[in-house]
């Protein structure tokens, strides 16, 4: 295996140097496949599927903007493909360091949903029931959905029993690409969306719009949870509630380029799986990318 990888790396170097060799495209493809098989290249296999689903431009943007995931100390669970794993045993990974697979060697996975409210795609989206009105117009939204086998919000308080615990936990981190090229980010947190660990998010977390709006009016919280893209998703232990900005609270990370990305639209179009919580394709934010609640 080591010798095969060495040959592949040399071949990639020759290609990068621009040296003419017969069968250039075939050589590049073979070298890439070898490195993918040996897991020396990141994000292997994702871009062709993403491009086939969303087109070249959006497919590459989807791959590029997947943030690095940082977990709170003590966390074991990582997001997985629910079609392959719906139990804690297959969804846990090491507690620290850089991880991209579970203890049972399943890849860390995020599902993708795109809402394109730009001029060329807005009409088609609206015909499908997507809200592209008002502030949404001209923007491209990428939703990365993360599935965990369960959620335990109050894991450190055993006296409460099953309170705050449930099977199936869908969380998300959203990216908003604006007409001027700037990019915003927000993350799901309990019943709302948050940006920074330093924001006053109690109202949003509880789904109480009056308190959320009051915090935003007082500039104590980013509007609707949106702030400048950080390329980072900070995940709380147990509940998996997220933030896009703040000081990481652990030493366990999943580089965004190592997260396996799966387009969710083809699955949602013919999906009969049942969950203890509402799945992404039945949530309000699926059709309204500016929705303030996660239900």
Q: Name residues whose C-beta falls within 8 Å of residue 218's C-beta, 6 or more positions apart in sequence.
A: 200
3-state secondary structure the chain: CHHHHHHHHHHHHHHHCCCCCCCHHHHHHHHHHHHHHCCCCCCCCHHHHHHHHHCHHHHHHHHHHCCEEEECCCCCECCCCCCCCCCHHHHECCCCEECCECCCCCECEEEEEEEECCHHHHHHHHHCCCCCCHHHCCCEEEEEEEEEEEEECCCCCHHHCCCCEEEEEEEEEEEEECCCCCEEEEEEECCEEECECCCCCHHHHHCCHHHHHHHHHCCCCCHHHCEECCCEEEECCCCCCEECECCCCCCEEECHHHCEEEECHHHHCCCCCCCCCCCHHHCHHHHCCCCCCCC
pLDDT value, residue 47: 80
pLDDT value, residue 3: 53
Structure confidence at residue 14 as a pLDDT band (50, 70, 90): very low
d(CA 156, CA 72): 13
β-bridge partners, 68 = 232
Q: pLDDT tens digits, residue range 129-174?
A: 999 999 999 999 999 999 999 887 544 444 444 445 778 999 999 9
β-bridge partners, 4 = none
Cβ atoms 252, 99 nearer than 8 A:
yes
Model confidence at 104: pLDDT above 50: yes
pLDDT value, residue 64: 96
Pick left, alpha or beta for residue 238 (phi over 0 → left; psi -120 to 50 → alpha; otherwise beta): left
Q: pLDDT tens digits, residue range 241-289?
A: 999 999 998 999 999 999 999 999 999 987 788 999 999 999 999 999 9
**256 CA to centre of own chain:** 8
Minimum mean pLDDT range among 43-47, 95-99, 134-138, 202-206 = 43-47
d(CA 217, CA 4): 60
d(CA 83, CA 216): 39
Q: What are phi and psi of 112, to 5 degrees?
A: -120, 140
- Provide mean pLDDT across the span 191-207: 93
Say which residue, 6 or 181, is predicted with more confidence.
Answer: 181
Give the N- to C-terminal CA distance of the chain in Å, as an integer. Answer: 48
d(CA 205, CA 293): 9
Mean pLDDT of the chain: 85
Q: Name residues whose C-beta falls within 8 Å of residue 278's C-beta, 6 or more positions apart in sequence.
A: 170, 295
Model confidence at 128: pLDDT above 50: yes
pLDDT value, residue 2: 56
Rounded to the nearest 5 degrees, what angle is found at the Cα of 221, between the Cα atoms of 192 and 178? 80
pLDDT value, residue 23: 54
- Provide mean pLDDT across the span 65-81: 95
Model confidence at 20: pLDDT above 80: no
């Amino acid at each position: 295996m080591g010798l095969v990888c060495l040959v592949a790396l040399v071949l990639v170097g020759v290609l990068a140097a621009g040296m003419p060799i017969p069968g250039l495209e075939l050589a590049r493809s073979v070298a890439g496949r070898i490195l993918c098989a040996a897991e020396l290249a990141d994000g292997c296999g994702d871009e062709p599927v993403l491009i086939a689903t969303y087109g070249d431009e959006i497919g590459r943007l989807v791959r590029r903007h997947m943030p690095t995931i940082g977990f709170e100390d003590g966390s074991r669970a990582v997001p997985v493909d629910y079609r392959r794993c719906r139990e804690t045993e297959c969804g846990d990974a090491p507690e620290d360091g850089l991880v991209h697979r579970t203890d049972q060697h399943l890849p860390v996975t995020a599902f993708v949903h795109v809402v394109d409210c730009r001029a060329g795609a807005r009409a088609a989206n609206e015909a499908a029931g997507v809200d592209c009105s008002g502030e949404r117009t001209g923007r491209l939204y990428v939703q990365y959905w993360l599935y965990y086998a369960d959620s335990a919000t109050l894991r450190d308080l055993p006296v409460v029993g099953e309170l705050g615990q449930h099977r199936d936990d869908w969380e998300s981190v959203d990216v908003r690409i604006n007409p001027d090229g700037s990019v915003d980010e927000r993350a799901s947190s309990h019943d709302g969306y948050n940006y920074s660990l330093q924001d006053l998010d109690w109202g949003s977390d509880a789904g109480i719009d009056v308190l959320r709006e009051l915090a935003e009016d007082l500039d104590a919280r980013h509007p609707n949870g949106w702030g400048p893209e950080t390329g980072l998703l900070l995940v709380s232990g147990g509940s998996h509630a997220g933030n896009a900005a703040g000081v990481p609270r652990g030493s366990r990370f999943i580089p965004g380029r190592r997260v396996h990305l799966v387009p969710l639209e083809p699955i949602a179009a013919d999906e009969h799986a049942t969950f203890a919580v509402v799945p992404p394709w039945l949530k309000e934010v699926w059709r309204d990318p500016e929705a303030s609640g996660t239900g």
